[in-house]
Amino acid sequence: MTVSPARRRGRLARVSTPALWASCLAMTLVYNNNGLVNVALPTIGRRLGADVVALQWVVNAYALALSALMLTAGALSDRFGARRVVLAGTAVFAAGSAAAAAAPSIGALIAAQGATGLGAALLVPAALSMLTHA
């Protein structure tokens, strides 16, 4: 088992406060999105006239984009730097969320959820990498 240099000196390494806050905020955004959408599904169905299958795709578009693109996003984080990828992921996530909030139809909402999932996929590995490097 490898012991870190900070641990060998008898103290734990200190994590940068801004890096810790940025990582916590990013992970909170990513994991709260699915819960918030699930709570709003009945209202979404009524307002957009969506059936159960379409509502399932609202949830699945986010989860599918997140899970399919997370490894690629980790490679991007290694290549371009965690900070840049976190900023890009936050921008994509915010744009996808804004598009989802203003979606005029169920198809537009599904596409916006996919974009939000892309932003989340960029955020997860980069935020954890940024925390590790801090």
The model's pLDDT over 56-84, given as tens digits with 9 standing for 90+, comes to 999 999 999 999 999 999 999 999 998 89
Residue with more model confidence, 15 or 56: 56
Q: What is the mean pLDDT of the chain?
A: 88
Position 9 scores a pLDDT of 54
3, 114 contact by CB (below 8 A): no
- The full length of the chain comes to 134
Instruction: At 9, list the tokens.
Output: 């000196």
**pTM of the prediction?**
0.83
Work out the average pLDDT over 11-38. Answer: 80
Position 22 scores a pLDDT of 79
Sign of CA dihedral 31, 33, 37, 39: positive
Name residue 110's amino acid.
Answer: I
